[in-house]
Structure 1
């Protein structure tokens, strides 16, 4: 289970409205929210995630790269990178990390600090 942080999270306190059962669902929510289509492409030494702004392709973010060779591992790595806040500040945290997280909000958005598990 993942908790997805988007800019309207401040408007509601119901975390259940911002959850996804899987990393794939969390990633899809964020990509959709950002207006991005995506595709995974194999490279010589790994994979890349190509993201395209559907309204303004010339404003698309740079591809995200993974050195993982196996498609399943690479897709997981790429989606994990994509939900770390690099897409317009949107973040998805695994529920265990969310429970340890300190979320700080300010006028420019949300910052998430996750304490290390001991």
Structure 2
């Protein structure tokens, strides 16, 4: 299986990552392993751009919760960016908006430079 996550931007305090496919039971383990490798930079805040993700099943949500817990232990955070309407509805109904910070693309301007972001949005 190819890489599931693109590293878009990295600075002193944050990473902007983009999952390249849906997060499902079949690939959630691979996603978690890649996130662990990328997230081992304790204290970094991770921003996951969901613009290429159409579907996240319950295993995918469980994996995102594991990543959020690992990030919190390392003094970082997991933030979700560009959720589509279906994602937003599922996360809202599940009460996950209290676990994850959900942002829009324009919110990234306070974390990354406009020049960095222009390459990807």
* Fold conserved between structures, TM > 0.5: no
Q: Which has the larger radius of gyration?
A: 1
Q: Is the helix fraction higher in 1 or 2? A: 2
TM, length-normalised to structure 2: 0.29
TM, length-normalised to structure 1: 0.29
Q: Is the strand fraction higher in 1 or 2? A: 1
